[in-house]
Structure 1
């Protein structure tokens, strides 16, 4: 495997592999969306196949649901599961307080609902996702399609009073057409460069008419697992203030993960 994966994919893989250690038999588990989360779903699928692990997965997107089912993971809706033991998901940016920007894949609405319906959220990422201050990655907000241009104008006006460095707002596209989320909404990407007060911004954004949800995850993540290209893994738990360093050695085997890349 080590000869086939790039350093960033190795980092994603070791983080995902380590995070699956938190999953126990009988758990109801939120399954995140994105390239790193896809590694995690694959690793869980391996545990289901090799260990007979019995879990119930609640996916945060249709693509995650399709992947989980293909690997033999039982999939149900959040309505069926009601409450979750654990959610494992990726992030686009992580600061020192474990606040996140998510939504690069356009699934942050479902991801936030699932994460907040869980006893614990574990975030998996490569080391490049760690930042001192959130905002270099564009902040996504999901907006209803009706009147979206008005919503955009209201957001741009609101940003004038916020502690941010940039205020450009763009409609996310998929080819020549606007991107449509699983909930049938548009995504506006806010190019802010730096967010001085993420908590305030998250609260104010959700007061704008037409905004369904924003991609700031504040006080939701409990544990972050950071992978490195050399197999090193750093696990930080914000609740008990601990940091654990481990390493995963790569072995040459059938690469079940070769179809997972950005």
Structure 2
């Protein structure tokens, strides 16, 4: 997605935000434009919002403008806005390119509504063309990777740690990913794996940036 598309998608998404809401804010370059547009909307007409962010990076971008919901997630967001690396016609997602997949999934699962912000190049049937991030515990991580490899999953250990102090192992699939639910279950069964970048049944609305510069809303 080029910068013009990201800005258009982020700005459109902010039109769905109204004072009094509790909102979830995801992570990534498109969400960056959403946050910029949200701060500008608040500057022009102050909003009464409570927010929960899926990363410290997004929290920092908000600059303390809005009070934060508890990260225990006992108060669910009314709506959450986040990006995706890939999405298919069944609204199954690959996420985690920004390394925040664990918190992203935890927020998505409790949010009353989830909206994904993407450009049309992210639409992929079947899912393909992007590694699937796996968050694994730092403790014993090489034994976890060994168990994944024995199941046939190959990939690369990403540098650095997540906001949770864990590591990211990016699994590379050769070609289209058929039956992603089965892969998710197999990977999650491995001791040391905390979460996968496969997201199912969380999103029903996608805001899609088109090459023309226009924005399209797609519904599941």
TM-score range, shorter chain: over 0.9
The residue number in structure 1 matching 2:170 is 189
From 97, 101, 120, the equivalent of 1:104 is: 97
Q: CA deviation at 1:230?
A: 3.0
Aligned length, in residue pairs: 219
Aligned 1:34-183 pairs, distance under 5 A: 34-69=28-63, 72-79=65-72, 82-159=75-152, 167-173=153-159, 179-183=160-164
Conserved? CA contact 1:10–1:228, under 8 Å: no
Whole-angstrom CA distance in 2 between matches of 1:215 and 1:104: 9
Give ranges in structure 2 of 5+ residues lacking alignment.
none
Conserved? CA contact 2:148–2:154, under 8 Å: no
Change (3 A) 1:154 1:32: same
Q: CA deviation at 1:212?
A: 0.5
Whole-angstrom CA distance in 1 between matches of 2:162 and 2:27: 13
Q: Deviations over 1:25-68 (max 9, x none)?
A: 11110001000011111111111111222111101100100101
Specify the SS of the correspondent of 2:118: strand
The residue number in structure 1 matching 2:3 is 9
Structure with higher Rg: it is 1
From 210, 235, 260, the equivalent of 2:192 is: 210
Q: Deviations over 1:134-190 (max 9, x none)?
A: 13101000001121111112112223xxxxxxx4221012xxxxx200000111000
Conserved? CA contact 1:14–1:228, under 8 Å: no
Specify the SS of the correspondent of 2:15: helix
Specify the SS of the correspondent of 2:139: coil
Which range moves more in the overlay, 127-136 or 137-146? 127-136
Conserved? CA contact 2:73–2:110, under 8 Å: no
Q: CA deviation at 1:96?
A: 1.1
Whole-angstrom CA distance in 1 between matches of 2:208 and 2:77: 23
- TM-score with structure 1 setting the length: 0.80
Conserved? CA contact 1:170–1:188, under 8 Å: yes
Compute the RMSD of aligned alpha carbons: 1.5
Give ranges in structure 1 of 5+ residues lacking alignment.
1-6, 160-166, 174-178, 239-262
Q: Deviations over 1:58-86 (max 9, x none)?
A: 0110010010125x233333336621100
Q: Deviations over 1:208-259 (max 9, x none)?
A: 1000000001111111000124321110111xxxxxxxxxxxxxxxxxxxxx
